Amino acid sequence: MSDRVVPEPQRRRRRPTKQGVVLSAELIVDTAIRLIGQHGAEALTVRRLGAALGADPSAVYRYFHSTDDLLLAIADELIGRAQHGWQPTGDWRTDLRAIGLRIHASYQAHPQAALLAAHRTTGRTHEIAAVEAILGILRTAGFPDAEAVRVYHAFVDQSLAFAALDAAALALPAPAAAADLQVWQASYARLDAATHPHIAATAHLLTADMRRSGYPYALDLLLDAAGARLRSAGAGHDG
Amino acid sequence: MSDRVVPEPQRRRRRPTKQGVVLSAELIVDTAIRLIGQHGAEALTVRRLGAALGADPSAVYRYFHSTDDLLLAIADELIGRAQHGWQPTGDWRTDLRAIGLRIHASYQAHPQAALLAAHRTTGRTHEIAAVEAILGILRTAGFPDAEAVRVYHAFVDQSLAFAALDAAALALPAPAAAADLQVWQASYARLDAATHPHIAATAHLLTADMRRSGYPYALDLLLDAAGARLRSAGAGHDG
DNA sequence: AGGCTATGTCAAGCGAGTTGACGTAGAGAA
DNA sequence: TTCTCTACGTCAACTCGCTTGACATAGCCT
């Protein structure tokens, strides 16, 4: 029954809950984001959200049709927060690197919402602004249009893909996340050099490296290769 | 109570269920993958899996400690299917490219399962074989160990991240997927050149390029950059 | 032939999202 | 001020998720 939700403009009463809290869609979204940040991904359940708000869990359904509806609202809020305050330096590599790391970082801050949002094309203002900025950086740097579009595509998809991948790891229930990390020591580090020479030779490096996100290095590789193509393809272009 | 599970080597009886099915870990994994493929990721519940198998849902717990345990087995099976029948050529770039595209393709064949499994570390046989193969390719090519591990990490995560990203697009409900694609024509292609010059100038290229996966191009960029680092770092190596 | 036990089944427990019914607080009109 | 109307907070219950303790039995091993 989605008809429980009253559209924003028609809301009238600001009736406090038993515990004295005056609810609003905004307050619910903020509380949900805080809940995820404080107690991990599993903390976001309607029951716990109700408790954190000081209201009956079902009160949430007066503001959102479903938990999915709520999560989309959260994602939208996060897109807004992500873009905040970035300034270009004029150097294409520095700027792209900064944008990539920013996208990645902002999604990591809210893994559960990231999982939902990372693979959608919204076409909304914040997304459009980002596309225009990235294309501008590439074209100003001298990439021919066709190449600029391909690099843009690879760059954005790689950023979002890694953001979602790393977010998924963070959003995992605690025991599963621990198990995934443990595998490198419990399983890979103990393989016999006779049967698995390459793993055995690099096990110590693997266990150290796999703790971190592979994104920064992958990003550097992408920018390296893009730079090489820029040098060979667009040699005589003006900006 | 994880002690319900009897390790493979100790299994003795092959007792049929009421409906006459003889269970096995393999059969359960295959059935689960089929279930997901036919009815979407949400179809994978222990109850439905039991029904599809022709067994009581709790019978699954005689073979897997939990649904997460089952999920890891599914992930490993997909990795195994990706490697099936692959033969190295001896050229590191050709081999890595083939493996990357194979992993991507294998996950695309089961988008719903890929969404659940792509970001997990299984530590099981198929995954271990893949890790050993990839590390072997890199070290044989002459990458120093530390660099080989970093490239391995970036390569694998890039493959899995794109696999999950593209799987998510395929797994989307039809109307949502159509909407996401439509955005490029309905929104981006109509932006004013005065306010969004870079998007306007490349809109025709964008709408064409964004239909495809960005992975093959991103993979080529990664291999380009890795090759450059191999040339500069390991100049005098054999292999 | 007989026993041991692996394993399929049953029933129940807990916690998730969700919703129908109900009562009341409180804004708006007179 | 008072009256009315309804938004919305609350309660209780439903479905469905995973999981597990207890039980019964099939079938391998000696």
CATH 1.10.357.10 in chain B: give the residue spans: 83-233
Structure confidence at residue A203 (pLDDT): 95
Structure confidence at residue A119 (pLDDT): 77
Q: Given B120, B135, B199, which is nearest A199 (Cβ)? A: B135
Least confident stretch, A113-122, B28-37, B68-77, B147-156:
A113-122
Structure confidence at residue A190 (pLDDT): 93
Structure confidence at residue A114 (pLDDT): 81
- CATH number of the A95-233 domain: 1.10.357.10
User: Is a pLDDT exceeding 50 seen at residue B199?
Assistant: yes
Higher pLDDT, B233 or A152: A152
Q: Given A118, A135, A218, which is nearest B154 (Cβ)? A: A218
For strand D, give the nucleotides within 7 A of a protein CB.
6-12, 16-21, 25-29
One DSSP character per residue, chain B reads -GGGPPPGGG-----B-TTS-B--HHHHHHHHHHHHHHH-GGG--HHHHHHHHTS-GGGGGGT-SSHHHHHHHHHHHHHHHHHTT----S-HHHHHHHHHHHHHHHHHTSHHHHHHHTT----SHHHHHHHHHHHHHHHHHT--HHHHHHHHHHHHHHHHHHHHHHHHHHHS-HHHHHHHHHHHHHTGGG--TTT-HHHHHHHHHHHHHTTS-SHHHHHHHHHHHHHHHHHHHSTT---
With CA atoms as reference, report the closest residue to B204 among A156, A146, A126. Answer: A146
CATH 1.10.10 in chain B: give the residue spans: 1-65
CATH 1.10.357.10 in chain A: give the residue spans: 95-233
Domain topology for A2-65? Arc Repressor Mutant, subunit A (1.10.10)
Q: How far, in whole angstroms, is CA B151 from its chain's centroid?
A: 18
Q: What mean pLDDT value characterizes chain B?
A: 89
User: Is a pLDDT exceeding 70 seen at residue B13?
Assistant: no
CB neighbour list of residue B165: distance below 8 Å, 6 or more residues apart: A118, A119, A157, A160, A161, A164
Mean pLDDT by runs of 10 across the 239 residues of chain A is: 72 79 92 87 90 94 90 79 86 95 87 77 80 95 96 95 88 75 88 97 95 96 97 60
In the predicted model, what is the mean pLDDT of residues B157-172?
A: 87
The two tokens of residue B36 are: 């997901």
Contact flag B188-A228 (C-beta cutoff 8 Å) = no
Structure confidence at residue B168 (pLDDT): 81
Contact flag A221-B226 (C-beta cutoff 8 Å) = yes
CB contact B30 to A (< 8 Å): no
User: Is a pLDDT exceeding 90 seen at residue B173?
Assistant: no
Q: How confident is the model at residue B174 (pLDDT cuts 50, 70, 90)?
A: low
Higher pLDDT, B184 or A76: B184
pLDDT, tens only, A88-139 = 999 999 999 999 998 898 888 888 778 777 777 777 777 888 899 999 999 9
State how far residue B236 is from chain A, nearest Cα, in angstroms.
Answer: 21
Q: Which of A127, A143, A158, A231 to mutate to test the interface with B (most CBs of B within 10 A)?
A: A158
User: Is a pLDDT exceeding 60 seen at residue B233?
Assistant: yes
CB pairs under 8 A between A and B: 179
Higher pLDDT, B217 or B125: B217
State how far residue B194 is from chain A, nearest Cα, in angstroms.
Answer: 12
Considering any atom of strand D, list protein residues whose CB lies within 7 Å: A 6, 10-19, 23, 55-56, 58-59, 62-63; B 1-2, 4, 12-16, 44-48, 57-58, 61, 65-68
Structure confidence at residue A238 (pLDDT): 43
Contacts of B229 in chain A (CB under 8 A): 224
Higher pLDDT, B172 or B232: B232
**Which CATH superfamily groups domain B83-233?**
Tetracycline Repressor, domain 2 (1.10.357.10)
Contacts of B213 in chain A (CB under 8 A): 157
Higher pLDDT, B215 or B5: B215
With CA atoms as reference, report the closest residue to B116 among B106, B107, B125. Answer: B107
Structure confidence at residue B51 (pLDDT): 95
Q: Which residue matches tokens 């996060």?
A: A78
Cα angle: B64, vertex B42, B103; to 5 degrees: 70
Contacts of B145 in chain A (CB under 8 A): 201-202, 205
Higher pLDDT, B175 or A8: A8
- CATH number of the B1-65 domain: 1.10.10
